[in-house]
Structure 1
Amino acid sequence: MTSEIAPTIWYPEPELVFHPERTSERDIHPLRGLKRFGPHSRGLVQSPIRVATLAPKGESERLFAFMRELSQSVRPVERTDYLPDWPGFNTVFDMRVTAATKKCRVELDGSFESEMAQSAMPHVLLAEQLVRAIQPLEAFRSDFDVLFIYLPQRWERGFYGAGDDFDLHDHLKAYTAARGMPIQIVREDKALAYRCRASVMWRVGLALYAKAGGVPWQLADVDPETAYIGISYAVRSNGADKPRFVTCCSQVFDAEGAGLEFIAYDTADVQVQRDNPFLSQAEMFRVITRSMTLYRHRHGGRSPRRVMVHKSTEFKDAEVLGCFEALPLCEAVDLIQVVEDVGWRGARWERDQANSGGKAAAFPIKRGSLIGLGEREALLWMHGAVETLGPKTYFQGQRGTPRPIRLVRHAGHGTWDDSARAALALSKMNWNNDGLYDPLPVTMSYAKVLARVLKRMTNLGSTPYQFRFFM
């Protein structure tokens, strides 16, 4: 047995494409690419984007001012090595943002605020008031595209529940998503008070465009016959004296990385081990079959040649059998466990002519570095230094020692090239973030969002959900 590890392999930063036909319009920097080329779905989203508003009584003007700010240009005062100037929503996306008609402007009477200040459960009271205010807007759903909800800082006591699993953000998402209503929460202490207005405008502008149905960018140079599936679960109780049940969710991403829909349903045919659910063979067959139906619906009835499935827990034997039973015609099936919390760290060491032992590099290990731990396991640095973004090396966050994710292959064979490239590419497909990448592939980062929100939804329909309602 040796203490040596395998040599490091490095994969370059994946490129994004900003036009469905002109594939030369590409860039590794998502925001720079948007400024240069515009969004991938330019001209396919109805202009203007109509915004409904919900605010405390007498404070709607703060939301209108925020919308006007979206159309103004501003320079960044942070992350200047990454953030481009914000030239205005009209310039970036070639469309306007406007307030919806007066019947889509709701103001919340503040008479409940004194009661909330004295209540032992202010989050319950605030949630009820907001839901009650949103309900009338359902009658005018065809008159607006996105709802802006303004939350002033003085309501902070109601944002989270003391002692229970409550988050106002997720509660509102669960309610509105079930009704096909995309929302953008605008907090006074974050969206309105944050000092770097360019950062706020990029984040909100991207989210607004995607929530209105737009596609900012897609992946370039990926296998057009591969489907990527992310499976996640939310475990919850069905009453104090009843067994827990599991909401199973599956997102299907195509070769371009566009996972615009997903399926979700409740099941009791699971084993829960240390709060981690594992499906039976029949349930895994069911979820993969429904996922493939979703893929074929988006691709004219065509099935993928290869399927790559990600989940955060191991694949039990029954789950592996269920996957293969559901994918009999696929040439290749890769079942990959993505482990986020690992103890490994990596430091970058450079050769030095003056010192035969070398020296520590000025920057961390490169993003895209991979070290194999055997035939079934590998470490992949999703976070790290990027040398090809501009004239200087870029390190997102500018702090800490990057830690890798661990990829564990429960089915599949060959090198780690396809799995690593896919994970790196899918880390750039979060349209609700202005960063260069996420620390996880979107199959897993979306899974976290969906698990939080879905467990708060009381009734899950049989039809697919659009992810834009959960962003």
Structure 2
Amino acid sequence: MTTSTTGTMMKADPRLLATAPRNLPTLARPTLGARWLPEPSLRFAGDAEHLDPKVGIPLHGPRSFGTGRHPAEIHVGFVGTAEAVDRAQRFLAQAAGGVDGDTQHHPFPGCEPGEGFRSDLRLDDDLVERITTREMHALLDITKTRERFERALALLDEKMALLQDRDHPLDCVFIVIPEALFKACRSVKYRQNGQLVERDLRRAFKAMAMRYRIPTQFLRESTTGLTDTRRQMDHPSEIAWNLFTGLYFKAGGLPWSPADITPGTCFIGVSFFRPMGSDKTLRTSVVQAFDENGDGLVLRGHDFRWDEARDGRSPHLPEDLAADLVRMVLDRYRKERKQTPRRVVVHKSSLFTGPERAGFQDGLDQVAEHDLVCLAPRSDVRLMRQGQYPPLRGTTFALGDDSYLYATGYIPALGYYPQGHVPTPLLVADHVGDTPHDRLLREILLLTKMNWNSAEYAEALPITLRFSRLVGAVLREVPADQEPATKYSYYM
């Protein structure tokens, strides 16, 4: 169904009316109302505000600059072949001095004590574990894909263990993947106990490496731009922005924070993942974003049975597990913040069933205010706009009883539409709670700007749902008897 704000009503053909059946029910014409919500601001050093992190950071510095959380030095380690590590170090050192932009890309201001992220990047040779030529050849000579995949993981594990034992500050480890290794080991499929198992090297490594409590960053050697590759890549300034934003956060810094979140609010994103090798068991992955800074915390929920053939494609929690899940989140919040949140907002991508809603509300009985909100991208309803650009980001419209929000679209502050595909709105459905509708929509827009794994102006989904999905892909690799790390930096 397509809705147009500029269309005209077509008159019915009299010949069709003459032959039309009588006594048909009269259908009410759905009402349509569209509005635009202003772009929310982000907060940077010194409480300065701006709409765009790629302007706010060069002008004012990252949010934690001037506080005890700011990393004055960022010590980076490396795992990779000698040539791959050398290229990565040259690339990072050059980017730390700044990267030129163009008409469509902001320049990257660098990562130096007086510029950009205001940190001193330290690339210490003592923090390098090289994959030798012999180790590389032995790995690539393995013909069985599963054995080769698992041996690659074991080799990276060995190198991480050696780096951890160094008596040296270490904030992040770059795993520099040569193209030959990436192509041979990037993923694997095999059957185990009759079940199809699909694994991804990056996700499997993240799950394995989190026990070292050192954040990591995968970097393909070709991304440095110093190899002879035909791979199509982003603009160099875009690559630098994304890498250094993530690196600054992994080193403990806070790139930016939301400027207008009600104090005492805890956002919870709920998603589901299937443990590796299981066909009918699901678990929940939960991400919290606290009000002051938007930091993400990861929690793994309980197992529960879900059979798609019997229960449908969209999973739903039983009432008791929904209540337990929320209580687990609140317990963690109290440990971190030494207080109970005044308000809790739960984001989920599927409608709440009656028992599920009752369970969440039961678990939130000690919280003054709460909201349960279903958010789902929809491509069957579009708002058309005159001219060459799609609707503005922040456009909200109601079609009958349904409410929609464009989290992507034309951005007036940028003067163009940054995505290459036709934007789809978010259906804001099944809201139960205490917050006025417009305030919920403004918060959703703000949470689409909180992805510290890049420096994009905004994303299609709020960080609550985006994080929970990405985290679930890593959590499926974490053994059931291993407690997963709670800091999101280990999953990025």
- TM-score band by shorter chain is 0.7 to 0.9
1:42 to 62, 65, 73: 65
The equivalences for 1:393-432 within 5 A come to: 393-397=415-419, 399-412=420-433, 415-432=436-453
Over 3 Å counting, the alpha-carbon distance change for 1:18 and 1:50 in structure 2 is same
Report Cα offsets for 1:239-260 as digits up to 9, x if no partner: 6xxx743332221212245133
CA deviation after TM superposition for structure 1 residue 41, in Å: 0.8
Over 3 Å counting, the alpha-carbon distance change for 1:141 and 1:235 in structure 2 is farther
The equivalences for 1:56-71 within 5 A come to: 56-71=81-96
* 2:184 pairs with 1:184: no
In the superposition, the TM-score normalised over structure 2's length comes to 0.84
Q: Is the 8 A contact 2:396 2:403 kept in 1?
A: yes
Over 3 Å counting, the alpha-carbon distance change for 1:210 and 1:221 in structure 2 is same
The equivalences for 1:17-36 within 5 A come to: 17-19=43-45, 22-23=46-47, 25-36=48-59
Amino acid in the other structure paired with 2:169: D
Report Cα offsets for 1:42-64 as digits up to 9, x if no partner: 14233311111111145432222
Q: Is the 8 A contact 2:172 2:216 kept in 1?
A: yes
1:335 to 369, 372, 379: 372
Over 3 Å counting, the alpha-carbon distance change for 1:107 and 1:9 in structure 2 is same
In the superposition, the TM-score normalised over structure 1's length comes to 0.87
Over 3 Å counting, the alpha-carbon distance change for 1:459 and 1:106 in structure 2 is farther
- 1: CA distance, partners of 2:83 / 2:222: 18
Q: Which residue of structure 2 aligns with residue 356 of structure 1?
A: none
Over 3 Å counting, the alpha-carbon distance change for 1:289 and 1:271 in structure 2 is farther
CA deviation after TM superposition for structure 1 residue 222, in Å: 2.3
Secondary structure in 1 aligned to 2:441?
Answer: helix
Q: Is the 8 A contact 1:309 1:336 kept in 2?
A: yes
* 2:286 pairs with 1:250: yes
- 2: CA distance, partners of 1:458 / 1:291: 21
Q: Is the 8 A contact 1:50 1:146 kept in 2?
A: yes
Over 3 Å counting, the alpha-carbon distance change for 1:232 and 1:191 in structure 2 is farther
Moved more, 418-427 or 322-331: 322-331
Over 3 Å counting, the alpha-carbon distance change for 1:342 and 1:333 in structure 2 is farther
2:184 to 157, 161, 173: 157
- 2: CA distance, partners of 1:421 / 1:129: 47
Q: Which residue of structure 2 aligns with residue 441 of structure 1?
A: 462
Q: Is the 8 A contact 2:112 2:119 kept in 1?
A: yes
Secondary structure in 1 aligned to 2:205?
Answer: helix
- 2: CA distance, partners of 1:460 / 1:205: 34
What count of residue pairs does the alignment treat as equivalent?
Answer: 445
- 2: CA distance, partners of 1:88 / 1:134: 25
Amino acid in the other structure paired with 1:205: F
- 2: CA distance, partners of 1:281 / 1:173: 32
- 1: CA distance, partners of 2:359 / 2:224: 45
- 1: CA distance, partners of 2:142 / 2:485: 42
Q: Unaligned 5+ residue runs, structure 1?
A: 349-359
RMSD of the alignment, in Å? 2.4
* 2:265 pairs with 1:226: yes
Q: Is the 8 A contact 1:72 1:87 kept in 2?
A: yes
The equivalences for 1:143-222 within 5 A come to: 143-155=169-181, 156-162=183-189, 164-192=197-225, 194=233, 196-222=235-261
Over 3 Å counting, the alpha-carbon distance change for 1:82 and 1:70 in structure 2 is closer
Secondary structure in 2 aligned to 1:140?
Answer: coil
Amino acid in the other structure paired with 1:170: R
CA deviation after TM superposition for structure 1 residue 212, in Å: 0.7
Amino acid in the other structure paired with 1:323: F
